[in-house]
Structures are given as structure tokens and as C-alpha cells.
Amino acid sequence: MTEVDINLTARGEQVAHPWIYRLCRDFDVEVSITKANVDTEFGWVQVRLKGAVEEIQRATAWLMTTGLHVDAEQRAVGA
């Protein structure tokens, strides 16, 4: 099992898109919001993705196609 902390930044209309919902629905990863600050024009969210490395890679690759700024913070591999 792998955990990755990712910072996501959204501006303008991206803020209203349901990208966290899509992460939960479309990928086999556990999504935890660890920190966030969101309003109507700008927002950032720190999420922790937990799951198989391949699924986290797929989810991260998809996030990069959304136009969000994506920055991986740390990676931890557990048993």
C-alpha cells in the first residue's frame, strides 16, 4: 500500500468542478482531504491518496489533464 500527499490548486471555473468526486469514483484509491482553502475564484486542497502504486499513478496522471496545478509532496510505501 502506498500513500502520496498531493497539493492541488484551482483557479476560476476549475474551482467548481467535481474533481475529488471523480477521484473517488473513477480510481481505486482512498482519498483523504488533509488541508484545504477554497472560495469561488481560487482554491487549494491537499489530498492523501492511498492505494496501489499503479492506481495512484493513474489518478495523478488524470489530475494533470484537468488543468489543475498538481504538486506531489511526499510518498510513503507501507506493507
pLDDT digits (tens, 9 = 90+) for 5-59: 999 999 998 898 999 999 999 999 999 999 999 999 999 999 999 999 999 999 9
Task: Print the domain residue range for 53.
Answer: 2-77
**CATH value at residue 63:** 3.30.70.260
C-alpha grid cell for residue 33? 482531504
Predicted pLDDT at 79: 47
Predicted pLDDT at 73: 75
Model confidence, pTM:
0.85
Q: How many domains does the chain have?
A: 1
SS (H, E, C) 1-50: CEEEEEEEEEEHHHHHCCHHHHHHHHCCEEEEEEEEEECCCEEEEEEEEE
Whether 76 has a pLDDT exceeding 60, the answer reads: no
